[in-house]
Amino acid sequence: MAEPVKLRLEGLDCANCAAKIEDTLKKAGFQRVSVNFVKREVTLEGDADKARAIIRRLEPGIRVLDAAAPGHVDDGDDSRRLPVFMIAAVILFVPGLVLRYGYGLNGTALMVVFAAAYLLAGWKVLKNAFLNSIRGNLFDENFLMAIATFGAFAIGEFPEAAGVMIFFMVGEYFQDQAINRSRRSVRSLLALKVDFANLLEDGKVVRVDPENLRPGHRIVVRPGERIPVDGIVISGSSGLDTSALTGESMPRPVTAGEDVLSGSVNLNGLLTIEVTKKLNESTIARILELVENATARKAKTEQFITTFARYYTPVVVLLAVLVALVPPLATGAPYPVWIYRALVLLVISCPCALVLSIPLGYFGGIGKAAKSGILVKGSNFLDALSAVTVVAMDKTGTLTKGVFKVAEIVTRNGFRPEELLKYAALAEVHSSHPIAAAVRDAWEGTIDPAVVREVEEQAGAGVIARTDDLEIMVGNDRLLHEQGIDHDTCHVRGTVVHVVVDRTYAGYLVIADEIKEDSAAAVRELKKLGVRRIVMVTGDSRDVAEAVAREAGVDEVYARLLPEDKVAVVEGLQHENGNQGKVAFVGDGINDAPVIALADIGIAMGGLGSDAAIETADIVIMDDKLSKVAAGMRLARRTRNTVMQNIVLALSVKLVFIVLGVFGEATMWEAVFADVGVTMVAVANAIRILR
């Protein structure tokens, strides 16, 4: 698969134009095309030079640059200059209205006043309309607005022509300001990259570009500075502000030996950190990439609106032509009356309220989620999250803390507790499993990994380790039965690690794992949101799983499952759920990667350090709080409701004004409100999500 190309579209200020660029590029054979009007970017697969040529031909006023090219941040510079022209236009227009309607004056001088106001307000529209007409683009909002206002001048409606253009441009100005605020709001989330790092080199601190840091380098992070790359604390202690990553306001204390994530702010202590990942592999780089690319995966609603807009404008324009010609030809009615009604239809023929506000709503939802510590990889996943009715989840690290400790040592057949621990730690010396780490931590002595010459994994049961003179089995009760080991204990409450030395049962270790503080509340909140079934799927024993399920309030338990068994359970849930909503799976993103990929919505918990979590999941919870799943669902539903509100508002108002326009009950003033006014209302409604 070819690498996607990302281009920056400086000067893109028309949502309908963005939709046309995307449609034209797709028709030209480009793959995976997505134009993001809010970010003014296009992502595609194919020849970048060919894409640039197509975009310049469609929109000559747009500068097409590489996304990484230097240049000013396109944050609405043109919209900040517009008020000068609008103020001048209003200064001419208001006295003209007073003279026309207050004193009944009319004539060439007054027409010149209205024309001057019109040109001051609409010069940019007229310029774009002229360029569009040369290229044969007759359904652009600029061309349609120019034709409508020229028509008003032609039939002697000078005040309406000037007023409509002024109101249109005022609306465009405030619309741009609203969009720019949303851009800046999300950009503030993305402004987490650090400009420099303090590298320790030969006992001296040297300021370097973070891109030059490599694993093994040591850096110094002073109070108030942001950590540039992922690493581990070598010396020092401090509190970290991780709110930009997790949405949590409480500082996180760190000391030597603890992992730290790029993007966190060091609050009060001097930290020496050993780099563990390069900049482009660090947490903050992956987060930025996810948030910036999220809008490329469009929801079905967005795709529908893009298709709808493609046909809506031509249909309304055709209706306007019929309104202008058919009644005068059929009944002999005066042309100016019906031409005026046709011009009203032209004013409301642009689908900007839909084309702009729908993507902006999803953009706001994804940005708000990211600020809350929830990474959503696309608006399609945000839509799917709003429809979740079944939630399946792993136990360890999801419902429980996943921090294991040896709570009890029970020996058999003459073995001493310290012997039992030593043999268990020896067998688990090469394992990365959290339970294995707990066993090793409990053994205070040293172990030489080279002593273990062979380790045999027993899927879903445990391991068999061999040294030069010993065979050690460590695992669950199933391992004992599979290997035919005599033992007197099968059912023990809690997570149990049985130990067998040279086929003699030596005893067992009880491993404790606490339920998270917010798990029970999170399960209750999911049920309040209408989730019909909450299911635990775990590889742990049924006794342990049922105890945790009772404490958390989980409805159903499937225990002692291998990864493929979890896949089968979730497939069954999807089949049983049918068309009654989506099935989500919440897991740690490493062992659960297959089932995360299978579920309608895969959610990775606490997976910032895991490549599997970032790459496999549709949604990543940037801390390990289960309550964020319910928070994400609430936000997804709010976003979905806002989008639907905007669709209903825009379509109903435009339909009403089309009918009123045809029957002569709507003026051009009212028509421009139906266009620009509804767009402004819809955009304002969309950006509420960010607050």
Task: State mean pLDDT over 321-334.
Answer: 91
- Give the end of a domain, one of 74, 101, 121: 74
The conformational region for residue 560 under phi > 0 = left, psi -120 to 50 = alpha, else beta, is left
Angle between helix 108-134 and helix 77-97 axes, rounded to 10 deg: 150
679 and 601 within one domain = no
Range with top average pLDDT, 27-41, 64-78, 225-239, 609-623? 225-239
The answer as to whether 665 is a domain residue is yes
Q: What letters, b where the CB count within 10 A reaches 16 and e where it falls short, cover 14-33?
A: bbbbbbbbbbbbeeeebeeb
607 shares its domain with 592: yes
CATH (domain of 477): 3.40.1110.10
Q: How many domains does the chain have?
A: 5
Q: How far apart are the first and last CA of the chain?
A: 38
Whether 158 and 298 map to the same domain: the answer is yes
CA distance 417 to 420: 5
430 and 392, same domain (yes or no): no
Q: How many CB atoms lie within 10 A of CB 274?
A: 15
Last residue of one domain, picked from the residues 258, 287, 316: 287
Same domain? 241 vs 307: no
- Alpha-carbon distance 621 to 470, whole Å? 44
Residue 579 dihedral angles phi and psi, to the nearest 5°: -100, 20
Of the three residues 287, 309, 341, the one that is the final residue of a domain is: 287
**pLDDT score for 170:** 81
DSSP code per residue over 160-228: HHHHHHHHHHHHHHHHHHHHHHHHHHHHHHHTT--S-EEEEETTEEEEE-GGG--TT-EEEE-TTPBP-
Task: Specify whether 87 is located in the same domain as 156.
Answer: yes
Domain match, 152 and 33 both: no
161 and 116 in a common domain: yes
Task: Report strand pairing: 533-537 vs 556-558.
Answer: parallel
Clarify whether residues 391 and 431 are in a common domain.
no
Residues 457 and 593 in one domain: no
Average pLDDT over residues 237-255: 80
Instruction: Give the pLDDT confidence of 590-633 residue by residue, as tens digits.
Output: 668 788 889 999 998 865 545 665 677 889 888 778 999 999 99
85: pLDDT strictly greater than 60 = yes
Domain assignment present for 634:
no
Q: What is the CATH number of the domain that holds 259?
A: 2.70.150.10
Q: State which residues form the domain around 29.
A: 5-74
Q: Which two tokens stand for residue 235?
A: 């010396």
Same domain for 98 and 229 = no
* pTM recorded for the entire structure: 0.73
Q: Which of 176, 394, 513, 592 is catalytic?
A: 394
Closest CA to 631 of 520, 517, 515, 529: 529
Is 633 part of any domain?
A: no
- Is 390 a member of any domain? yes
| 611 belongs to the catalytic site | no
Q: What is the CATH number of the domain that holds 56?
A: 3.30.70.100
Provide the pLDDT confidence category of residue 363 given band limits of 50, 70 and 90. confident
Q: Which helix (H) or strand (E) holds 535?
A: strand 533-537
628 within domain boundaries? no
Q: pLDDT band for 73, please (50, 70, 90 cuts).
A: very low
Checking if the pLDDT of 302 tops 80, the result is no
Beta strands in 341-419 (DSSP E): 374-376, 388-393, 405-411
**Does residue 630 fall inside a structural domain?**
no
Examine residue 632 and state whether it is found in any structural domain, yes or no. Answer: no
294: its two tokens: 């999220």
- Domain co-membership, 269 together with 338: no
Q: How far apart are CA 684 and CA 432, in angstroms?
A: 50
Name which of 422, 374, 448, 266 is nearest 635 in CA terms: 374
* Residue 103 structure tokens: 């004193």
pLDDT value for 375: 85
Selection from 16, 51, 49 nearest residue 31 by Cα:
51
